Structure formats: C-alpha cells, structure tokens
Amino acid sequence: MPSSETIKQLTDPIPVLIPLVNPNEPEALLAELHVREGQRVTRGNAICTLETTKSTAEVLAEADGFIVGLRFYSGLAVRAGETLCYLADNPDWRPASGETGSVLQQESFIQHPEGVRITQPALALARQWGIDLEQLPRGR
C-alpha cells in the first residue's frame, strides 16, 4: 500500500516556488529554464537556475511529475515565494484561474534583449520613461 506521502504527490499538484537565494536580495534572475511546459521530470531534475549578484542556485523537482502552469521565461527577474510552475501527475492539469497570472500567457508582456538583467520595477520605470532596453549593458 502506498504511503500517504506518495498518494499526495500523485494526486495534488505541487507548487514549485522561487527560493530566497540571497537574504539581501528578494529578487533573482531566472538565468536558465531547464524545462518546458508539459515536460515530464523526475525527482531531483533541475527545473531552473537562478542568479543573484552574489550567488547561483538550481531549483530541483521535489517529486516526479509534469511541469504545468509555467509562469516565467529565462531572463526575467523573479521574487522569492512566487510560484514558478507546478508538478502534476497529468500534463493537462491547469491551476485555478486565480492562481495563474502567467507572464508567458499575458499578451502584454515585454521581451527584453538577451543578456539584459533588469528587475520588474526597473522595467516598469524604463517603460515609463521610454528608455530603449537595447542601450542597457549586458551581463553582470
């Protein structure tokens, strides 16, 4: 008979949260996304790599399942505690409408040039002041 932990993992989607990588920086750069929507992963697989000014961390799958409800893409600044995606037993499962807010699904998201590191507040200011993101420095 499966344990209650196994049953929970197979029936309840597990939110994958952005961890606090550096206590002095609640935001991190989603440097690399190692998965795609609907991809099957096993426990311990790398889901993404996060970077702050002082450290790098990988977010690993806590259980076997499918990546669903992916909310962000590489190059975005993300905040600790935000839901990156869910691990579900079915690739067709979707979060309730109030839980989505997906950057990937919004029509109005702004792509920024490859290598530009920018936080969401800085991106909002750049848009407000009409700053050309192509002119910003790249990399670290």
Among residues 8, 2, 12, the alpha carbon closest in space to that of 68 is found at 12
Query: How many CA within 13 A on the CB side of residue 136?
Result: 19
Residues 46 and 100 in one domain: yes
The predicted pLDDT at position 120 comes to 64
Instruction: Name the domain count of the chain.
Output: 2
Q: How confident is the chain (140 residues) per 10-residue block, as mean pLDDT? A: 48 91 90 96 98 94 96 92 95 75 42 66 74 76
Among residues 109, 24, 41, 26, the alpha carbon closest in space to that of 75 is found at 109
Residues 94 and 126 in one domain: no
Query: How many CA within 13 A on the CB side of residue 19?
Result: 14
User: How many Cβ atoms from other residues are within 10 Å of residue 30's Cβ?
Assistant: 19
Domain containing residue 9: 4-106
The predicted pLDDT at position 47 comes to 98
Are 41 and 64 spatial neighbours (Cβ–Cβ below 8 Å)?
yes
Residues 63 and 131 in one domain: no
Look up the pTM and report it.
0.65
